[in-house]
Chains A and B, each alone.
Chain A
């Protein structure tokens, strides 16, 4: 893989720059390391109910996708992030910078496809766990992604209409200052303009994507977690993933909604730990 060869030659200065640009953090120790990857409309704080539990027995890496959370917008390149490939490149570069081996990537929502694309261009990833992932959000003939094109366009329109609201939902997490609303308020206004545009672009890259054709290329052991009711990803899309990834297993969690790591952290934790026990050592 030429990409990783190139990466190995990179100086530690640029490694530091990459880690800084994505607000990369880590807790715990122990191999194999586990990387937690957030999805659209969130940042690394979405894992707050699980991070320390995973970290009890291993090294856990978290970061913010470019344009989200505390990532450095100075590195935002609209062309690079026009599709999910740019986000996948980021993951590969971060793995290279940390020189991880045999890594597990636990990815939520669109993070799932980002992790899949990354796994096709680096040998640093050994297994994947995807939560609420979908290869395609739009319906296409017999394929049921859950949305018509018009729905997604309406959604993008609504996002734009409520850009301050979107910023507001993210701001408290970014700020980590829920007790000081005046700071949050201030951040919302400074954050919202850039965030509105970036979120919209990320939304487009996410919801207009179609990675069905790539699924067969990923032979890594993969755990697919899906709640009983998820407004973003219908069960049919999760099944499609399981049917088309050679080494994937679908597990339906007894939970509702798109965020089981928040609503059912115990179930998610147990499922991932079982999967890790099966696929490591």
Chain B
């Protein structure tokens, strides 16, 4: 390139410069161009620019640079690889412009772009990573959606199953109560046929026990989970019923802190209280009235304390020698069933105190 007054500058710049005709046949080049190609100047001038490219770059050049060179006599920053004589391709960016006055004269520049490949590779890797992340995210979201749908389905299934279970439980409790009413009716009718007062009393005792069982199921039906209920409401209904069968001058008092219980605890407890109260009514007040007090306290250190006391005459002296009564056998059996122990003591009258493991209700 014998350009004007600054040939030294033209050869010193770190850019390959050349002049070409419209077919991109090289007319002149600077020293830097020879250096980039590893060729002497005489092997550069007069040759087609395309012939300096690697085979694949010729492809790129023909498809990408040529159409714009044909139509605009220009191309910008086309990424190509020069086929250097040492066999190691040199990455360059090709920019071509036509001479402002003479369109058939083209000026070209080749900028060394050794980092370009690494840079583009980084871009590609970043792009792939971004796409992969995006896809992973989409997959994760898809999986999450699937999981949510599955969960919703399970919840629906469970809800339906629970509703079905509730329906069945209510039906069962309903039938139990109805059947207990039938049993009570039968007992009542039989009791009326009996002339012996002791026999009538025995039937009454059984009916009280049956009623206690019915009350437990009544409480269960009213509870939200159909499994547990508050013992307080149950005991006050139970004592109200027992009071109704008691002489007017005997009063029944209940003192109970709120406690969530289930069937397994409430049935034996209800029967136990029925037994103890009935017993007190029968024996404590042979003449005149008094008070029967029922107290359920706790839990303290996992134990409930049940106290049934009366202001009556105390235990009959002969009780220890006599054949154990059915009532007492039931009391002991129920306490055993509840996993507790029971003691009797003398106060004003008879005082029963049972220690029962607190019900473990979630």
Chain B min CB distance to A259 (Å): 5
Residues 219-235 of A, flagged 1 when their CB comes within 8 A of B and 0 if not, give: 00000000001111000
Which of A62-70, A111-119, A123-131, A150-158 lines the interface with chain B?
A: A150-158
Whether A257 contacts B66 in the complex (CB less than 8 A), given A161-B124, A162-B120, comes out as yes
Most buried by A among B48, B59, B76, B78: B59
A159 CA to B64 CA in the complex, in Å?
10
Whether A41 contacts B124 in the complex (CB less than 8 A), given A152-B56, A154-B55, A158-B79, comes out as no
Measured CB to CB, the nearest residue on chain B to A260 is B70
Chain A min CB distance to B122 (Å): 11
A260 CA to B127 CA in the complex, in Å?
36
Contact between A41 and B64, CB atoms less than 8 A apart: yes
Measured CB to CB, the nearest residue on chain B to A166 is B64
Contact between B78 and A165, CB atoms less than 8 A apart: yes
Contact between A231 and B77, CB atoms less than 8 A apart: no
A151 CA to B62 CA in the complex, in Å?
14
Contact between A151 and B55, CB atoms less than 8 A apart: yes
**Does A191 count as interface, using CB distance less than 8 angstroms?**
no
Name the interface residues of A128-179: CB closer than 8 Å to any CB of B. Answer: 147-148, 151-152, 154-155, 157-163, 165-166, 168-169
Measured CB to CB, the nearest residue on chain A to B116 is A161
A254 CA to B343 CA in the complex, in Å?
125
Contact between B71 and A231, CB atoms less than 8 A apart: no
Q: Which residues of B are found within 8 Å of A166, using beta-carbon distances? A: 64
Q: Which residues of B are found within 8 Å of A263, using beta-carbon distances? A: 66, 70
Measured CB to CB, the nearest residue on chain A to B119 is A161
Measured CB to CB, the nearest residue on chain A to B25 is A256
Chain A min CB distance to B265 (Å): 69
Measured CB to CB, the nearest residue on chain A to B93 is A165
**Does B63 count as interface, using CB distance less than 8 angstroms?**
yes
Name the interface residues of B285-344: CB closer than 8 Å to any CB of A. Answer: none
Contact between B60 and A230, CB atoms less than 8 A apart: no
Measured CB to CB, the nearest residue on chain B to A197 is B131
Q: Which residues of A are found within 8 Å of B127, using beta-carbon distances? A: 193
Q: Which residues of B are found within 8 Å of A257, using beta-carbon distances? A: 62, 66, 70
Q: Which residues of A are found within 8 Å of B63, using beta-carbon distances? A: 40-41, 232, 258
Pick from A158, A168, A230, A259: contact of B56, CB below 8 A: A158
Measured CB to CB, the nearest residue on chain A to B72 is A178
Measured CB to CB, the nearest residue on chain A to B81 is A158
**Does A267 count as interface, using CB distance less than 8 angstroms?**
no
Pick from A148, A162, A256: contact of B23, CB below 8 A: A256
Contact between A155 and B59, CB atoms less than 8 A apart: yes
Contact between B78 and A148, CB atoms less than 8 A apart: no
**Does A42 count as interface, using CB distance less than 8 angstroms?**
yes
**Does A252 count as interface, using CB distance less than 8 angstroms?**
no
Chain A min CB distance to B124 (Å): 6
Contact between B57 and A158, CB atoms less than 8 A apart: yes
Q: Which residues of B are found within 8 Å of A162, using beta-carbon distances? A: 60, 78-79, 120
**Does B200 count as interface, using CB distance less than 8 angstroms?**
no
Contact between A161 and B50, CB atoms less than 8 A apart: no
**Does A208 count as interface, using CB distance less than 8 angstroms?**
no
Q: Which residues of A are found within 8 Å of B68, using beta-carbon distances? A: 169
Q: Which residues of B are found within 8 Å of A154, using beta-carbon distances? A: 54-56
Whether A46 contacts B60 in the complex (CB less than 8 A), given A148-B55, A154-B55, comes out as no
**Does B107 count as interface, using CB distance less than 8 angstroms?**
no
Whether A161 contacts B120 in the complex (CB less than 8 A), given A41-B63, A232-B62, comes out as yes
Q: Which residues of B are found within 8 Å of A230, using beta-carbon distances? A: 62
Q: Which residues of B are found within 8 Å of A165, using beta-carbon distances? A: 64, 77-79
Q: Which residues of A are found within 8 Å of B23, using beta-carbon distances? A: 256
**Does B229 count as interface, using CB distance less than 8 angstroms?**
no
Q: Which residues of B are found within 8 Å of A148, using beta-carbon distances? A: 55
A256 CA to B23 CA in the complex, in Å?
8
Q: Which residues of B are found within 8 Å of A147, using beta-carbon distances? A: 55, 59
Contact between B58 and A231, CB atoms less than 8 A apart: yes
Contact between B55 and A259, CB atoms less than 8 A apart: no
Q: Which residues of A are found within 8 Å of B56, using beta-carbon distances? A: 151-152, 154-155, 157-158
Chain A min CB distance to B23 (Å): 6
Chain A min CB distance to B134 (Å): 11
Q: Which residues of A are found within 8 Å of B58, using beta-carbon distances? A: 231
**Does A262 count as interface, using CB distance less than 8 angstroms?**
yes
**Does B67 count as interface, using CB distance less than 8 angstroms?**
yes
**Does B211 count as interface, using CB distance less than 8 angstroms?**
no
**Does B61 count as interface, using CB distance less than 8 angstroms?**
yes
Chain A min CB distance to B304 (Å): 74
22 contacts between A and B (CB under 8 A): A41-B63, A41-B64, A42-B67, A147-B59, A148-B55, A152-B56, A154-B54, A155-B56, A158-B57, A158-B79, A159-B60, A161-B117, A162-B78, A163-B124, A165-B78, A193-B127, A232-B59, A256-B23, A257-B62, A257-B70, A259-B67, A262-B71
Q: Which residues does B use to contact A, with CB under 8 Å?
A: 23, 48, 50, 54-64, 66-68, 70-71, 76-79, 81, 116-117, 120-121, 124, 127
6 closest cross-chain pairs (CB), A and B: A154-B56, A231-B62, A155-B56, A263-B70, A161-B120, A151-B55
- Other A-B contacts than A151-B59, A161-B121, 20 sampled, CB-CB below 8 A, are A41-B63, A41-B64, A155-B56, A158-B81, A161-B124, A162-B78, A162-B79, A162-B120, A163-B124, A165-B78, A166-B64, A168-B76, A169-B67, A229-B48, A231-B50, A231-B58, A231-B66, A256-B23, A258-B66, A259-B67
